[in-house]
Amino acid sequence: MNSSKPKVLQILSDKTLLGHVLTQAQKLCSKVHVVYGFGGDQVRQTINDDSINWVEQVQQLGTGHAVQQAMPSINDDSISLVLYGDVPLIEQSTLNDLITQAQHSGVALLSVVLGNPTGYGRIIRQNNQVQAIVEQKDASDTQLEICEVNTGIMAVDSGLLKTYLNGLDSNNAQGELYLTDIIEMAVSDGKTIASVITDNEFEVAGVNDKIQLAELERTFQQNQATQFMQQGLMLKDPARFDCRGSLSFGQDCEIDVNVVIEGEVTLGDNTTIAPNCVIKNTIIGSNVSILPNSVIEDAVIGNGASIGPFARIRPEANIGENAKIGNFVEVKKSTIGKGSKVSHLSYVGDTTMGSDVNIGAGVITCNYDGANKHQTTIEDGAFIGSDTQLIAPITIGKNATIGAGSTITKDVADAQLSLSRSKQTTLKNWQRPTKK
């Protein structure tokens, strides 16, 4: 992977590769065991889940040897489901089928038919019954023509699995203990091997380099976009949409190109998101317009609000019903009341703003004194003229007016006009200097 991080810690969508696998495993299994080798300490620190039984494989002697390390902690009367940390998109329904088959037969494997099976172990069948799995390096020319391949994923009766693992040897081209050899052992023991053949190559695709990771990311995003559209979301171009988290939405929502969703995002009815927006961990109401190139994080956007273009809504911002946050406006840790407008080129931080407030262009709430943050309160109906600085802590009363170009350092009472401009001076007969 050419990375300082182990392969299983590479990110796909919003999770590590291993994180995706663990999500599915923890839905199905009473106990999850992770066998680790290279970079194991980094993996454990990143995943940081005390419910997992972490087992170190000190020597990497093959897949069979890896599974052997976990078996002392597993009860004989259970089903062991073997998954791989770099195969992240396996689906729960497929695993359920596999477990059900194993409960009846004792051994069940997951296979897939590939147009190009190079590099994969081939499934050997006789009279349609699985007889063995032959690895690429050990396969004959005839066996190499087989396109049904082993995914490595299997479910096995744990008591049987322990028995077969103890009988493995390393008499093969790799000199390793192959987990796949237990299939032939089970057949020799008179067992019928159940198999589940998946139709979706992507769900059993592994990752070995950044190219494969990017390909799997695109496949994942495309499938996710398709599901959203089937549920009623309008995506202008599903190939240019990324959801790296979870998205819920009402009716008649529309998302334009190059929008990135992160964390948990909720959209009400009739909400539109224009191109090039990033939205993270945010609740957005109904009839909201998010205009181009806006970034919204950890915020709440009320019904009928308008955001952007080029707006930045930072954590703990609450934008009220029918409020407007315009171009090049930043809002941080502030409440913007119903119908209030901050239309251009302003910074609003640590502020409680009432309803129907009008903030002119270039207004700044000066909330930081170099050591501590301070609160600004702007009450209902206030009008703040352009190019004004409000030095917190400060309160602007109801229906108060602040003249443009003012620096306000003291509270302003209800319905009063306050301004602090220097008096305009005009010098008659003044001449501009000329260049020498």
The CATH number given to whatever domain includes residue 274 is: 2.160.10.10
Sort strands 194-198 and 324-327 into parallel, antiparallel or unpaired: unpaired
Statement to judge: residues 71 and 155 lie in one domain: yes
Range of the domain at 66: 7-204
Q: Tokens 């081939």 belong to which residue? A: 122
Statement to judge: residues 175 and 242 lie in one domain: no
Alpha carbons within 13 angstroms on the beta-carbon side of residue 217 total: 20
Statement to judge: residues 83 and 195 lie in one domain: yes
237 part of a folded domain = yes
Please name which of 72, 27, 78, 31 lies closest in space to residue 53, comparing C-alpha atoms.
Answer: 31
Q: How far apart are CA 75 and CA 160, in angstroms?
A: 11
Q: Tokens 């023991």 belong to which residue? A: 189
pLDDT tens by residue, the chain, 436 residues: 899 999 999 999 999 999 999 999 999 999 999 999 888 899 999 999 999 999 999 999 999 999 999 999 999 999 999 999 999 999 999 999 999 999 999 999 999 999 999 999 999 999 999 999 999 999 999 999 999 999 999 999 999 999 999 999 999 888 999 999 999 999 999 999 999 999 899 999 999 999 999 999 999 999 999 999 999 999 999 999 999 999 999 999 999 999 999 999 999 999 999 999 999 999 999 999 999 999 999 999 999 999 999 999 999 999 999 999 999 999 999 999 999 999 999 999 999 999 999 999 999 999 999 999 999 999 999 999 999 999 999 999 999 999 999 999 999 999 999 999 888 899 999 999 999 8
Statement to judge: residues 169 and 297 lie in one domain: no
Statement to judge: residues 194 and 261 lie in one domain: no
Statement to judge: residues 79 and 140 lie in one domain: yes
Strand ranges (E), 53-161: 53-56, 79-82, 107-113, 122-126, 129-134, 148-157
Q: How far apart are CA 121 and CA 143, in angstroms?
A: 10
Give the CATH number for residue 76.
3.90.550.10
Q: Are 294 and 310 in contact (CB under 8 A)?
A: yes
Q: How far apart are CA 393 and CA 217, in angstroms?
A: 48
Q: Tokens 């349609």 belong to which residue? A: 128
Q: How far apart are CA 9 and CA 401, in angstroms?
A: 55
Task: Please identify, among 167, 187, 204, the residue that sits at the C-terminal boundary of a domain.
Answer: 204
Position 422 scores a pLDDT of 87
DSSP state of 183: H
Statement to judge: residues 196 and 252 lie in one domain: no
1 part of a folded domain = no
Q: How far apart are CA 174 and CA 13, in angstroms?
A: 34
Q: How far apart are CA 238 and CA 395, in angstroms?
A: 47
105 part of a folded domain = yes
Number of structural domains (the chain) is: 2
Statement to judge: residues 159 and 266 lie in one domain: no
42 part of a folded domain = yes
Task: Please identify, among 150, 184, 204, the residue that sits at the C-terminal boundary of a domain.
Answer: 204
Residues classed as catalytic: 344
Residue 183 tokens, joined? 């299939």
Statement to judge: residues 152 and 270 lie in one domain: no
The CA-based angle 354-359-362, given to 5 degrees, is 145
Helix, strand or coil for residue 131?
A: strand
φ, ψ of residue 289 to 5 degrees: the values are -115, 115
Q: How far apart are CA 195 and CA 159, in angstroms?
A: 19
273 part of a folded domain = yes
Q: Tell me the CA distances in angstroms from 434 to 338, 431, one per residue in order.
A: 53, 9
Q: How far apart are CA 365 and CA 383, in angstroms?
A: 14
Q: Kindly report, residue by residue over 39-64, the tens digit of the pLDDT.
A: 889 999 999 999 999 999 999 999 99
222 part of a folded domain = no
Statement to judge: residues 287 and 406 lie in one domain: yes
Structure pTM?
Answer: 0.90
Q: Are 421 and 377 in contact (CB under 8 A)?
A: no
Statement to judge: residues 257 and 143 lie in one domain: no
User: Which residues 6+ apart lie within 8 Å of 199 measured at CB?
Assistant: none
Burial class (CB in 10 A: 0-12, 13-18, 19+), 282: buried
Helix, strand or coil for residue 425?
A: coil
φ, ψ of residue 43 to 5 degrees: the values are -65, -45
User: Residue 44 corresponds to which amino acid?
Assistant: R
Sort strands 299-301 and 278-284 into parallel, antiparallel or unpaired: parallel
197 part of a folded domain = yes
Statement to judge: residues 185 and 249 lie in one domain: no
69 part of a folded domain = yes
Q: How far apart are CA 298 and CA 88, in angstroms?
A: 28
Task: Please identify, among 187, 204, 221, the residue that sits at the C-terminal boundary of a domain.
Answer: 204
Strand ranges (E), 268-385: 272-273, 278-284, 289-290, 295-297, 299-301, 306-307, 312-313, 317-319, 324-327, 330-332, 335-336, 341-344, 347-349, 351-353, 358-359, 364-366, 376-378, 383-384
